[in-house]
């Protein structure tokens, strides 16, 4: 019962605040973009994803090489095992253990490197898109441009309010005219 009252209160407050904002600030032109469509149809994001894939493939290739080297060392140890003295076995096992630990550390470092690189590229793209949307909204005279997400922060809006396609088109046109160093 308390939850229903709280939810009802929150909905009424949100509606009241929206109405007040509309009246007080005289907000007339509200538009929205489908955020995921905007980001993933942006040529800059597509290029960033290609760069990230190339970096990821390089790192994975290096990791595969290290894993193969380790497996070769293990296989060689297994072949040599019958003829090794107890001391030689212990020495080789110690080396294998160190090699395995190095492989584990490299793998963890590589995963963090991939994540950091992805975060940096994504942040750069998002900053570029956000700056463009702000500039575009000013140019077009929009008071507010909202963004939809998969979690649904806009539950309904008329189709004419959706400016995603026109923003993607304008954003990609601007991106194509930028020098390579600015991308």
Q: What is the third-level CATH fold of 2-182?
A: Protein Binding, DinI Protein; Chain A (3.30.910)
* Angle, helix 86-140 to helix 164-177, in steps of 10 degrees: 110
> 147 pairs with which residues across the strands?
33
In whole angstroms, what is the distance from residue 146 CA to residue 34 CA? 9
Segments making up each domain of the chain, as ranges: 2-182
Model's pTM, two decimal places?
0.68
pLDDT digits (tens, 9 = 90+) for 98-125: 999 999 999 999 999 999 999 999 999 9
- Token look-up 């290290």 returns 66
| pLDDT at residue 73 tops 90 | yes
Output the CA–CA distances (angstroms, integers) from residue 119 to 49, 108, 114, 141, in the order listed: 11, 17, 9, 32
Rounded to whole angstroms, the Cα distance separating 156 from 105 reads 49
Q: What is the pLDDT of residues 23-61, one digit of tens each?
A: 555 556 888 898 889 999 999 999 999 999 999 999 999
């Amino acid at each position: 019962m308390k939850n229903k009252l709280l939810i009802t209160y929150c909905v009424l407050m949100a509606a009241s605040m929206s109405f007040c904002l509309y009246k007080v600030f005289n907000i007339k032109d509200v538009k929205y973009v489908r955020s995921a469509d905007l980001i993933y149809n942006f040529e800059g994001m597509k290029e960033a994803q290609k760069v990230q894939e190339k970096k990821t493939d390089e790192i994975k290739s290096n990791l595969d090489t290290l894993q193969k080297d380790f497996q070769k060392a293990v296989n060689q140890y297994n072949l040599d095992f019958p003829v090794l003295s107890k001391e030689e076995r212990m020495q080789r096992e110690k080396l294998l253990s160190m090699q395995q630990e190095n492989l584990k550390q490299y793998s963890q470092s590589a995963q963090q490197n991939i994540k950091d690189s992805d975060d940096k590229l994504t942040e750069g793209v998002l900053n570029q898109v956000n700056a463009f949307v702000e500039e575009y909204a000013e140019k077009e005279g929009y008071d507010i441009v909202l963004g939809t997400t998969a979690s649904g922060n806009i539950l309904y809006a008329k189709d004419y309010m959706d400016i995603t396609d026109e923003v993607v088109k304008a954003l990609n046109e601007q991106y194509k005219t930028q020098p390579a160093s600015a991308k």
